[in-house]
């Protein structure tokens, strides 16, 4: 905005639209994920009444020895069985995906605005985010 040409009114309006879209996307993603996490937690305790009374069950849950859905496949299978912890994991994945979606939307916005340098910068950031999942598996 401080450089050479003054942007026209239409361009400013487009920037504003993008900002609002990003803001709504972030808010929506957080609300959806928290709803899934709360719902999944409720289902977990309903399915396992022992969790309310039995102290012996804590260690396995806390230390992960009982196992929990930790892969995409495991989460899909768990969702099929309507398992509480799989619903929680889905909520956590929605949360992780929220900033990723924000970056993806930004690429479109920069392309739309004809800003090539920033479309490329943002695309690289998106590629890095996707790479993180692949690298994590390799490092496991």
Q: What is the DSSP string of 33-71?
A: HHHHHHHHHHHHHHH-THHHH-GGGHHHHHSSTT----S
Per residue, the 3-state secondary structure of 86-99, as one string, reads HHHHHHHHHHHHHH
Q: Which of 51, 79, 105, 111 binds other proteins (CB under 8 A)?
A: 51
Which 99-118 residues touch other proteins, going by CB under 8 A?
99-100, 102-103, 106, 117-118
Q: Does 5 bind other proteins (CB under 8 A)?
A: no
- Our finding on whether 47 is near other proteins (CB under 8 A) is no
Contact call for residue 96 and other proteins (CB under 8 A): yes
- List Cβ neighbours of 29 (8 Å cut-off, separation of 6 or more): 94, 95, 97, 98, 101
Structural contact between residues 45 and 114, judged by C-beta atoms closer than 8 angstroms: no
- Report the nearest approach of other proteins to the CB of residue 86 (Å): 8
Would you count residue 57 as binding other proteins (CB under 8 A)? yes
Residue 102 CB, shortest distance to other proteins, in Å, is: 7
Q: How many residues sit close enough to other proteins to count as binding (CB under 8 A)?
A: 69
Tell me if residue 109 falls in helix, strand or coil.
helix
Tell me which residue of 23, 24, 22 sits closest to 122, measured CA to CA: 22
Binding site for other proteins (CB under 8 A): 1-3, 19-20, 22-24, 26-27, 29-30, 33-34, 37-38, 40-41, 44-45, 48, 51-55, 57-58, 61-64, 68-71, 85, 88-89, 91-93, 95-100, 102-103, 106, 117-118, 121-122, 124-125, 128-137, 139-140
């Amino acid at each position: 905005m401080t450089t050479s040409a003054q942007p026209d009114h239409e361009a400013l309006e487009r920037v504003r639209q993008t900002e609002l879209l990003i803001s709504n996307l972030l808010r929506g993603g957080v609300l959806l994920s928290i709803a899934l996490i709360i719902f999944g937690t409720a289902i977990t305790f309903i399915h396992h009444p022992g969790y309310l009374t039995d102290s012996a069950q804590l260690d396995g849950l806390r230390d992960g020895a009982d196992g929990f859905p930790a892969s995409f496949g495991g989460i899909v299978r768990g969702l099929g069985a309507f398992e509480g912890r799989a619903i929680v994991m889905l909520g956590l994945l929605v949360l992780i995906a929220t900033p990723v979606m924000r970056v993806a939307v930004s690429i479109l916005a920069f392309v739309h605005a004809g800003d090539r340098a920033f479309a490329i910068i943002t695309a690289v950031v998106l590629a890095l985010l996707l790479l993180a999942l692949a690298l994590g598996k390799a490092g496991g």
